[in-house]
Structure 1
Amino acid sequence: MLDTTTLRAKQFAWMAHDPGIYLNAASVGPMPAASVEAAARWSERRAQPHTIPFPWLLDSAATARANFAALVGADSDEIALMPNTTYGLNLAARALPLRPGVVLAFDGEFPSCVYPFQALGSRGVELELVPRVNGLPDEDTLVQAIEQRPDVVAVVVSWTQFASGFVADLERIGTACRARGAFFIVDGIQACGVRPIDLHALPVDVFASGAQKWQLGPWGTGFVYVRRDLITALQPHDVGWACMKSSTDYTRLTDYEFDFFDDARRFEVVTLAYHDFAVANAATALLLDVGVPAVAAHIERLVTRIVDWAQTRRDVRLITPADPARRAGVVSFAPPELDRTAERLKSAHVHFTVREGAIRLSPHCYNTTEEIDRVLSLL
């Protein structure tokens, strides 16, 4: 069982002195003390860049790839560092060899799963949204469409939906895609770091995530996983000096050898934010040290308290699935007077968000059952 008391004392000590309750990891995760310390060290060195050994930069990036890979059950050479999830999804939209046809997605997806694929019309690729049922993604209809329609060339879904907290069955959807020769693309940001996953065991082609939410990292840090068999088969749409093998030798950059890396670094176009990835590394290391299964179990206990409360209230509509297998850390519900309820929580210094007409609470490893009970008493 997760030792929340020790974790808060060592990594989130500010919470003991703050009057509020932070339940907004689905928007921005607070950086742990280890990350703050790493940021301070790198900022001090950055003020005098000659004090930063060049191997530090390479190690920051290499460690980030390794950490992210460990987080999702991949190998580091299948990981390309990205500024955020959207960059990874754009890579999928623009680099995958999509023939003319249809890309399927759930209605209600976060816009990053929509706009990059809506932009493919000139290539004869159209995005089609599968309508919701009772406010939630209709996975049955999605899978039926994959199995029955030869015009489906790809599917893009969020592992966990940002507004409802619905968790997609990646194995089921991916298996249907693989059987029909359709690419499977996953936005993983709303569960990565707080829900176990093994991408090597799943039929996923591209998986993108950002570190600023549940991974407790800084803005501007993220990654994309590309299935090994696809890495060298994809022609990078964006090309820069950092994609090339010759970028490792600064003494001969103008030899202009047009030769991409054989691993996922071929998709890293520009100079990386080494400073920020060093900060992200400290946060990811914390999650790996605590253990994603332990974090997931703790969050599930907290979410269950909220779900159970909502189900006892006739005047509250639970939006998040009640089934634990279909939810992660996002829990949403619609109270009878949304604005008044939101104002009551804000006045009590509860940090949350309103998404798509509902209160969205997103607890993490640093939250306690006592905090959840305090919020429920306010509600």
Structure 2
Amino acid sequence: MNQARDLFHLPEGGPYLLAHSVGCLPRAAMGALEAGMLAPWQTAGGGAWPRWLETIEDFRTAVARLLGVDPATVAPQTSVSAALFTLLSGLKPQTGKNVVLLSEQAFPTIGFVLAPLARLGLHARFIPAGEDPSDPATWERHFDGSVAAVIAMHVHSNTGLVSPVSEIAALARRHGAMSIIDLAQSAGILPIPAQEWDADALIGSCVKWLCGGPGAAYLQVRSGLIAALEPLDVGWFAHEEPFAFDIRDFRYATDARRFQGGTPSIAPFALAAAGIRAVLEVGQAPIRANNRACIAAFEEAARQSLDWAARSGTLCLVCDDPQGATEALSAAGFAHDFRGNILRASFHIWNAPEEARDLAQALRRAGVAFTPAR
């Protein structure tokens, strides 16, 4: 445990419980940035590009290891929003099949991306927030032949609820729709059996549980689907031959690089690859085991069962006095956050069960009552 904790720089102050927002900086990140971005620039100037492109490939390889997929199916992205727009813009219009299905509990950026896609004939259908997105029957009720794509959060950021990913992907296949799974709140803490899910596409960011910092995200597309998608957001790095330099001849890359767009940023992907490697070095199973031990310690100290076994790694608790809770937790040094009246607190490998007990006791001393978010 201590050895794994030492792989990360911990922010100053008390227990850091914000892995669901920004993961801690890996100690290897600065060396990775130096080797993958700065040193080649310093020593080679414009000749740094071969090494810089290796950095991008290193990132694709790291994501592929994390997800258990072929690196050729992975494209670096600047954000989840960019990944989703690029992917959906590649759908070919079909008469009577123009609905994108998602829950109102999805992260808002998903809905924002869909709004302008109405210009391309795609329209959002929202499952009401009051319907449980962790129940397969919820998704079944809203599927029909007009659904072109479905977007499911593997984990919902304000509740910790986990979508029935395999069932959603199977529903999509039966209805001839694309299945897209957002891993932003799950990769690094929950298992991602991509091959078992058999979803068409996975999107996610590296800033949270993967400890990769902002500006690096990814899009993974099932290999058999890639050739059928022709994204609108292209550039020379989406070209089959980026260095052909024929302005009249654009041909999509045959692998997931067709979703890559123009000249890539280098620094975010050097940092993100270091974060993913740190998580893989610790092992996702030990990270999850420690998370569950911390949640069990919280429940014991709170004298309250939360039935969190089937949820994510983030406690999402509706508090009757959010102001009192945040004052008490801030005074005790806990790095946490609130979404409205929902306390969010995450336990990564750098946390210990003692910290979880202290969190529960701070809430009890403040007289704050809480229930799991739904």
TM-score normalised by structure 2 residue count: 0.89
Aligned partner (choices 338, 344, 354) of residue 328 of structure 2: 344
Q: Which runs of 5+ in 1 are unaligned?
A: none
Aligned partner (choices 266, 274, 295) of residue 287 of structure 2: 295
Contact 1:302–1:368 at 8 Å: present in 2 too?
yes
- Tell me the equivalent position of 1:107: 104
- Tell me the equivalent position of 2:216: 221
- Tell me the equivalent position of 1:324: 309
Contact 1:163–1:356 at 8 Å: present in 2 too?
no
What root-mean-square deviation, in Å, do the aligned CA atoms of Structure 1 and Structure 2 show?
2.3
Per-residue displacement from partner, 1:157-211 (whole Å, max 9, x unpaired)? 1110011111111101111111111111111110012212122222311211111
Question: By percentage of residues, which structure has more helix?
Answer: 1
Aligned partner (choices 151, 159, 167) of residue 156 of structure 1: 151
Count of aligned positions: 360
1:276 aligns with 2:274: no
In 1, distance between residues paired with 2:70 and 2:188? 16
Letter in 2 for 1:103: V
In 1, distance between residues paired with 2:191 and 2:2? 23
Query: How many angstroms does 1:293 deviate by?
Result: 2.1
- Tell me the equivalent position of 2:44: 50
Per-residue displacement from partner, 1:68-125 (whole Å, max 9, x unpaired)? 0111121100000001111111123211235343222112211122122233333443
Letter in 2 for 1:77: A
Contact 1:66–1:76 at 8 Å: present in 2 too?
yes
- Tell me the equivalent position of 2:177: 182
TM-score normalised by structure 1 residue count: 0.87
Per-residue displacement from partner, 1:275-314 (whole Å, max 9, x unpaired)? 221222121112122222222222222233335556728x
- Tell me the equivalent position of 2:339: 355
Contact 2:153–2:183 at 8 Å: present in 1 too?
yes
Residue identity (%)? 26
Segment of structure 1 superposing worse, 171-180 or 123-132: 123-132
Letter in 2 for 1:224: L
Change (3 A) 1:235 1:368: same
In 2, distance between residues paired with 1:176 and 1:13? 43
Query: How many angstroms does 1:39 deviate by?
Result: 2.6
In 1, distance between residues paired with 2:324 and 2:263? 47
Contact 1:106–1:137 at 8 Å: present in 2 too?
no
- Tell me the equivalent position of 2:318: 334
Aligned partner (choices 228, 234, 244) of residue 233 of structure 1: 228
Query: How many angstroms does 1:348 deviate by?
Result: 1.7
Change (3 A) 1:353 1:289: same
Contact 1:239–1:269 at 8 Å: present in 2 too?
yes
Contact 2:298–2:353 at 8 Å: present in 1 too?
no
In 2, distance between residues paired with 1:47 and 1:227? 35
- Tell me the equivalent position of 1:377: 361
Change (3 A) 1:311 1:163: farther
The alignment partner of 1:351 has SS state of: coil
Query: How many angstroms does 1:213 deviate by?
Result: 0.9
Change (3 A) 1:134 1:80: closer
Change (3 A) 1:75 1:293: same
Change (3 A) 1:173 1:123: same
Query: How many angstroms does 1:332 deviate by?
Result: 0.9
Change (3 A) 1:225 1:56: same
Per-residue displacement from partner, 1:331-376 (whole Å, max 9, x unpaired)? 1112221111111111222111101421101121111111111212
Contact 2:320–2:341 at 8 Å: present in 1 too?
no
Q: Which runs of 5+ in 2 are unaligned?
A: 364-374
